[in-house]
Amino acid sequence: MRFRRRAFSISAPYRTALPLLALALACVHGGGGGEREPGSGIRFLSDDYSAALARARAEGKPLFVDAWAPWCHSCVSMRSYVFPDGVLSAVSERYVWLEVNTEKTENRAFVEQFPTEALPMLLVVDPRTGQPVRRWMGSATAVELSARLRSTALALTPGAPGTPGQAALARASAADARGDHSAATDALREAIAATEPRSLDHGQAAEGLVLRLEQDGDPGGCVQLAREELGHVAPGTALATLVSTGLSCALDLPDDDPRRTTALGALEGRVAALARDPSVVLMPDDRSSLFETEEGARRARGDLLGARETALRWKAFLEDAAARATTPEARAVFDSHRLLAYLALGEPEQALPMLQQSARDFPGDYNPPARLAVAYLAMRDPWQALEEARRAASLVYGPRSLHVLLIRAEAEMRVGDSHAARVTLARAEKVVNELPPAQWHASMRTAIAAKRKALFEPPTASRAMP
């Protein structure tokens, strides 16, 4: 899930001008380095796009790329629950597999070649041309991903007839890769028109377009599409993405916009129904994102009792999912959302045991101490928050350093060390200024300015009207 109530199961890497608690969405580090072979038989190359593309060309296979980051909970959920699934064994030998940590400096060339506003980003690259023929934002179940990859492999088979819808999806993927959002939008609309409702390709097109409209700042178009396609997308991750993103876009419309009220009535109930319907197969992380979106929508409407009821359901669901996890990595997938649910209920102390366990399980990962700092700040324990923020700052790297440093500055200010807070914000500015262009975004500077204003400028007193 993107920060705030954004796109379903997607995390936005550059939208940093957000409240402090947004860092709670960060994810446990998923490992990496060399090849790995989960139960599906998939062997991932790590962080070497050129070598992977060369292997794909040599073997005559398409290249699958998982572009991820350690803070992205949807990314780590895919790595813990989807890629190891035996369902994918049917396609494991039909692709060359690559994972790319988009936070690493050595992957800047890949990030520049395949820019993205959100993660995870899943790509299928035609090794003959080096161009992406499919680009998916967000997660999928193992069954859904297997079906998508079988269909894509068939479409890439020499002499295969293909369909107009598949051709349009390929054009949209290529346009997104070169940053031509207008062309991508047009191609996705063509794909929707050319595919049968409730088909695999139709769901991919509708999911891709609602995300593109949301990311391009068109909440009205996003809402309209979500309502139009409600009955045309089969139950599953694509439908969950459609309704959740549509609901988030509705909340971004002005309060006096009539489309806002109408869309909230149409979409909030669908989000709640999907979250509670066990017959709709979703990844647990994705179902959690539906609860998150519903809770945020109810809170935004002023329905605090309804928001609390949703948060209680959300908490119970997550605690059950974490209890069912069979590995520390799989359990820690839910840390970020569990923290958010506890915060929504005003119970940040409930997060301490799980986060302390994750800190022990993953001593080199910055996410557990960063989340602990958030929890301690919510508990009004700034000294403990500062200790955890310092630990996170010693481990973090890449663009995510900004989030950790903003938390550290907050903790320093709350313990009364304004000088240290100013030094930390200056360090944050230095980190941002030294990022390569592919990892830099203007909102980073906005986030630092907003934090500096919140910490050092007294709030403007409201003046009563005569």
Task: Tell me what pLDDT residue 11 has.
Answer: 53
The encoded tokens of residue 323 equal 């209890």
Nearest by Cα to 319 from 295, 359, 291? 291
Pairing label, strands 131-137, 96-101: unpaired
Pairing label, strands 121-126, 131-137: antiparallel
Pairwise CA distance, residues 387 & 408, whole Å: 9
Is the pLDDT confidence value at 456 over 90? yes
Task: Tell me what pLDDT residue 16 has.
Answer: 35
Task: Tell me what pLDDT residue 180 has.
Answer: 93
Mapped onto helix, strand or coil, the DSSP state of residue 73 is: helix
Task: Tell me what pLDDT residue 12 has.
Answer: 53
Q: Residues of the chain with pLDDT > 90: what percent?
A: 81
Pairwise CA distance, residues 242 & 248, whole Å: 10
Task: Tell me what pLDDT residue 157 has.
Answer: 84
Mapped onto helix, strand or coil, the DSSP state of residue 383 is: helix
Task: Tell me what pLDDT residue 3 has.
Answer: 33
In which band, very low, low, confident or very high, does the pLDDT at 460 lie, cut at 50, 70 and 90? low
What are the two backbone dihedrals, phi and then psi, of residue 149, each rounded to the nearest 5 degrees?
Answer: -75, -35
Is the pLDDT confidence value at 274 over 70? yes
**Helix crossing, 335-344 with 304-324: angle to 10°?**
150
Pairwise CA distance, residues 414 & 385, whole Å: 10
Beta bridge partners of 97: 44, 64
Average pLDDT over the chain reads 90
Q: Domains plus CATH for the chain?
A: 20-346 (3.40.30.10)
Mean of the pLDDT values across residues 116-127?
92
Report which residue type is found at 85. Answer: D
- Per-residue pLDDT of 185-197, as tens digits, reads 999 999 999 999 9
In which band, very low, low, confident or very high, does the pLDDT at 442 lie, cut at 50, 70 and 90? confident
Pairwise CA distance, residues 325 & 200, whole Å: 29
Pairwise CA distance, residues 51 & 35, whole Å: 13
- Per-residue pLDDT of 289-323, as tens digits, reads 999 999 999 999 999 999 999 999 999 999 999 99
Nearest by Cα to 43 from 94, 77, 81? 94
Pairwise CA distance, residues 439 & 301, whole Å: 35
Pairwise CA distance, residues 50 & 127, whole Å: 11
- Per-residue pLDDT of 212-221, as tens digits, reads 999 999 999 9
Task: Tell me what pLDDT residue 463 has.
Answer: 37
For residue 204, count other CB atoms closer than 10 A to its CB. 28
Nearest by Cα to 113 from 63, 149, 42, 70? 63
- Per-residue pLDDT of 75-111, as tens digits, reads 999 999 999 999 999 999 999 999 999 999 899 999 9
What are the two backbone dihedrals, phi and then psi, of residue 118, each rounded to the nearest 5 degrees?
Answer: -155, 165
Pairwise CA distance, residues 134 & 118, whole Å: 16
Nearest by Cα to 370 from 73, 1, 63, 28? 28
- Per-residue pLDDT of 4-55, as tens digits, reads 333 334 455 444 333 334 333 333 333 444 454 557 789 999 999 999 999 9
User: Is pTM beyond 0.85 here?
Assistant: yes
| Residue spans of beta strands (DSSP E) within 38-120 | 44-46, 63-68, 96-101
Q: Per-residue DSSP letters for 192-207?
A: HHHS-TTSHHHHHHHH
- Per-residue pLDDT of 224-271, as tens digits, reads 999 999 999 999 999 999 999 999 999 999 999 999 999 998 899 999
Pairwise CA distance, residues 143 & 289, whole Å: 19
Is the pLDDT confidence value at 438 over 90? no
- Per-residue pLDDT of 153-175, as tens digits, reads 988 887 777 899 999 999 999 99
Among positive and negative, which fits the CA dihedral 151, 156, 162, 164? positive
